[in-house]
Amino acid sequence: MSSFLDLLTHYPGFVPSVLMGALLVFWLLAIAGVLDFDSFGPHFDTDIDLPEHAGGEHAEAPETLMALGLDKLPFSIVVSGIVFFWWLFTLLAMSLLWSWIPLPAWAAGTLILVGALILAVPVAAKVLKPLKPLFVVHVSAKQESLLGKRCRILTLTVDAKFGQAEVIVDSGAPLNVRVYADTPNTLTKGSSALLIDLDAKTGRYRVESYESA
């Protein structure tokens, strides 16, 4: 197997390739504001800068993720990292090792898939661990000071679990924040809203529609 197209469309390469395609669609929709990257999969408990914090809507991370140091990352980030390296190592193994494996095609393919996945998990963990501080939620006085400010909705919809908005801080710079709202509502991309509450467990702001007089 030498051509890239053959690697993508033949077993075992098509298995991680299909997953990569699905994740690519997911991230394109997330970039477009249709989906929230943090709404995919379970929500694991994060570090909250408060004296008392007991669970809430976030579940305790599995021991496997904790052992790999991936327990504070969004599930979508973890899955994307593992699938990417699984896909990469599978294609590399097919290109370099396929002709050297003295097994039937289905057995060789399965062996490559399993081996590539085993290798992908620790490599993904190594690459993703430096990103953990970016996803730690700290409720600060600065975040509290945003309450009552106007914002502009960036996503096509806002519901109880999903939404992004832009708010202008005191320095005049725009700040993107994660928001949610009671449903049904009329909030859509470009709508004006007010930040009326802050969920300390998730770092999300509750918003409601705002119409200027």
210: its two tokens: 């705002």
pLDDT band at residue 144, thresholds of 50, 70 and 90? low
- 154: nearest Cα among 169, 145, 167: 167
Q: Please give the average per-residue pLDDT across 4-25, as a whole number.
A: 88
Q: Please give the average per-residue pLDDT across 15-41, as a whole number.
A: 80
CA–CA separation, 48 and 138 (whole Å)? 5
For residue 64, the model assigns a pLDDT of 65
pLDDT of residue 117 exceeding 50, the answer is yes
pLDDT in tens, 94-115: 988 888 888 888 899 999 999 9
- 191: nearest Cα among 210, 172, 174: 210
Whether residue 107 contacts residue 167, with contact meaning beta carbons closer than 8 Å, is answered with no
Burial of residue 155 (CB within 10 Å: 0-12, 13-18, 19+) is buried
For residue 140, the model assigns a pLDDT of 46
CA distance between the termini of the chain: 67
Residue 79: C-alpha distances to residues 19, 24, 49, 117, 179 (Å): 10, 12, 26, 12, 24
Q: Please give the average per-residue pLDDT across 76-94, as a whole number.
A: 92
* Percent of the chain with pLDDT strictly greater than 70: 74
Highest mean pLDDT among 46-50, 64-68, 113-117: 113-117
Q: Which of 64-73, 83-92, 137-146 has the lowest mean pLDDT?
A: 137-146
Residues 6+ positions from 150 with CB-CB distance below 8 Å: 167, 168, 192, 193, 194, 195, 210
Three-state DSSP at 30 gives: helix
pLDDT in tens, 165-182: 988 877 677 888 889 999
CA–CA separation, 17 and 43 (whole Å)? 26
For residue 59, the model assigns a pLDDT of 45
Q: Which residue has the higher pLDDT, 60 or 55?
A: 60
Query: How wide is the angle at C-alpha 24 spanned by C-alphas 93 and 184, nearest 5°?
Result: 150
For residue 2, the model assigns a pLDDT of 55
User: Is 141-209 CATH 3.90.209.20?
Assistant: no
For residue 46, the model assigns a pLDDT of 45
- The CATH 2.40.50.140 portion of the chain extends over 141-209
Residue 199: C-alpha distances to residues 59, 140, 158 (Å): 16, 12, 15
pLDDT of residue 78 exceeding 80, the answer is yes
CA–CA separation, 5 and 117 (whole Å)? 21
